Structure 1
Amino acid sequence: MRHDVPTPMAAPDAPPAPATRRRQISACVRGSFSAGPGIFPLGIALGLLVLQAGLPWWLTPALSRSAIAGSLELLPWV
């Protein structure tokens, strides 16, 4: 037996079967339920901040969509 010849490696386990699109979407929805209650009050605070600053109401959703972190971008201003 030669010692300089590498021994064959065992084949890795097969990857799990891909999840269906419906399962992926339901997993995403279930995962977002934990973040929703925390983000909702921040959205309300952003809306109040925009109105108190005298800006038009439609600017609130525009700011939320354009800012990377949504209402968290403006939270330090409160």
Structure 2
Amino acid sequence: MALFKRRTVGKPGEWFYCLEHGTVEEGPQCRAADRLGPYGTREEAEHAMETAHERNVEWETDPKWHDGAGRGKSGSNEA
């Protein structure tokens, strides 16, 4: 008996965006590596790519995630 069962049937109201097919699906229909989610609504899943892009831009411009950015300005060499 397997320790972890692969969930093949989705829950009602659980939405995903499939990267491979470019479609919204209710429940996990495609493999996990090919989907974003879960989202609470179909509309949220439809905007998954925009949401991911916005989050990437936030991360790329967040100075606390870039080591070395801003170091040395205060004269401190603390790690």
TM range (shorter): under 0.3
In the superposition, the TM-score normalised over structure 1's length comes to 0.27
TM-score (norm. length: structure 2): 0.27
> Whose Rg is larger?
1
Query: Greater strand share, 1 or 2?
Result: 2
Structure (1 or 2) with the greater helix fraction: 1
